[in-house]
Structure 1
Amino acid sequence: MFYQVIGETAMLLHFAFLIYVTLGGFLAWRWPRTFWFHVPVAAYALAINIVGWECPLTYVENWGRVNAGQSGMGDTGFIDHYLTGIIYPQEHALTAQFLVGVSVAVSWIGLLIILWRRRRGPTPRNHDTDGTTPHA
């Protein structure tokens, strides 16, 4: 039972990590300080994809499942095991990675725009006292 809990917990943490990588930058729109937590998480996810590292959570999940008497993920990683072919077809794996990258980029660009607008402050309105815009 203990090993099964470890495997299940690692799987849930993996899903949480992927959701945070994909959507965590949007949290910074509301709470800008969370951006500084999202940067290393997104960079680590990018490095895993570029370098081909195996995520430690994959190892922990496999270890827990095998010791619980279950089949592990085998030679496939977490994404190949749980997402590819289930959430999106195998031939669209690169598209899925691209869309995650676009989501991160859009969230960060959006944050820059929000912060830029906040720093500029409210835009002054040039109105006469009766509410109409003066003409030259």
Structure 2
Amino acid sequence: MMYRLVADTAMVVHFAFLVYLAVGGFLAWRWRRTLWAHLAVVAWGVISIVTGVECPLTLAEDWGRRQAGMEGLPASGFIDHYIEDVIYPQEHTNLVRLGVAVLVLFSYVGYVLRRQ
């Protein structure tokens, strides 16, 4: 039961992390200090895409699932399991990444313009 809670919590936090990655820059329009947290999240996202380093949340969920006697996440990871071919087709991954990058860039441009 406890391991399942670890796995489920890691999954929910991971989804929240991805949502914050996409739209967290807009929170900085209202709460300026959140920009630093968002920059860190964006940096981690870029590093994980460029280097392929596995996210600790993926590792935590996989560990919790296995300890609970469930099937672990596939080797391809969290996004491949929950998002690609579920929310959008895998062949559109780069387009989705570009869309998120544009959204983040737009939020940062808006942040700068609102501060003037």
Greater RCO structure (CA 8 Å; 6+ sep): 2
- Once the two structures are superposed, the pairs formed by residues 87-98 of structure 1 within 5 Å of their partners are 87-98=87-98
Distance of 2:100 and 2:77 partners within structure 1: 17
Percent identity for Structure 1 against Structure 2: 47
Separation in 1, partners of 2:101, 2:50: 12
CA offset at residue 75 of structure 1? 0.8
- Give the letter for the 2:41 counterpart: V
Q: Map residues 43-62 of structure 1 onto 2, 5 A cutoff.
A: 43-62=43-62
SS of 1:53's equivalent in the other structure is: coil
Alignment partner, residue 70 of structure 2: 70
After the TM superposition, which residues 1-136 of structure 1 pair with which residues of structure 2 at under 5 Å, given as runs?
1-116=1-116
Measured in 2, the distance between the counterparts of 1:14 and 1:49 equals 15
Q: Deviations over 1:42-64 (max 9, x none)?
A: 11111111111100111110000
Cα RMSD after superposing both structures: 0.7
User: Scaled by the length of structure 1, what TM-score is found?
Assistant: 0.83
Q: TM-score, normalising length from structure 2? A: 0.97
Larger fraction in helix: 2
Alignment length, in residue pairs? Answer: 116
Structure 2 runs not aligned, ≥5 long:
none
How far 1:31 sits from its partner (Å)? Answer: 1.1
